[in-house]
Copies of this chain bind each other. A is one copy, B any other.
């Protein structure tokens, strides 16, 4: 092989193209910072990190305790920040996590994703053997102690592939938020859905009804024949076939920013309500079903647990501190517990 000096003289100079996506993004951040003209990767990362701080702060005000903050690196590329408040005054377990992943999609994964994203290898003759990708998102799950206070889950994420020439390839946003009470207060479900509908309506009049249905379908414990909770919104694959990137990001921002003003009033209303030991037991039974959904059906959890180098404790922060499985437990007919199960078997329209 030719000596290095010769190669440097006659071949192309070392360009940005020879850096990995992660390295290029690091360089851009260092040299230019992040602003509205930056690549969406950097804007989404910045946004979810800011939101994580705000949400953690707001939940700390409710609980009176502080979150533990763990920053971690993924040796395959990227990393994240996991914040957990455990056994607090109000929250049994609250986890707010941000993750940023740089990786490589092998050809079979590219071919699979093409079904939903035509931009991925538009030229069917020239589908590359692998593609660099980027994913960033914020996930949170809050399990309150008081059985009258509902569990809440939220996740917003951005996914992008890089073309071999370094430009952005396919991109899409996904996410949603849903509420899981052990005791159903209709006014909470209504307020939660109303707030999501307002956010959706401000961007597209079709979003709410589509995403509400999608949520009911997705967060469904098929083996039990019941929904995980009273729903909310869920969507995936929001790409240029739905709306342009800028407007979709604006929607994602509004949706995520609406979390604190929506959930905090609900938790404040419920956190100090009196409850009996039996009611706490019912909450534990419902927690068991939450665990079933997350471990048996949730695609995000399965994807995470199967990702090489994944941080298992960050993925499973979604599980409650405690859960219970009683054989053949059935609520009393016409009880509040029975009404919840009825609603979970036949999802309602809340707004």
* A interface with B by C-beta (< 8 Å): 68, 70, 84, 86, 93, 95, 223-224, 284, 288, 291-292, 295-296, 302, 305-306, 310, 312-313, 316-317, 319-328
Contacts and interface: CB of A to CB of B under 8 A. Distances in A.
Tell me the dominant secondary structure on chain A's binding face: mixed
Given A223-B310, A322-B323, 9 more contacts: A68-B327, A84-B328, A86-B326, A95-B327, A223-B305, A223-B312, A313-B327, A320-B325, A322-B322
Point out which of A70, A292, A306 has the most chain B C-beta atoms below 10 A from its C-beta.
Answer: A292
Contacts of A291: 291, 295, 323
Contact of A319 (B223, B284, B288, B306): B288
Contact of A328 (B313, B319, B322): B313
B296 A86 contact: no
Nearest to A327: B84
Contacts of A316: 292, 325
Copies of this chain, whole number: 2
A288 B68 CA distance: 21
A328 B69 CA distance: 12
7 contacts: A68-B327, A291-B323, A292-B316, A295-B295, A320-B325, A321-B325, A322-B322
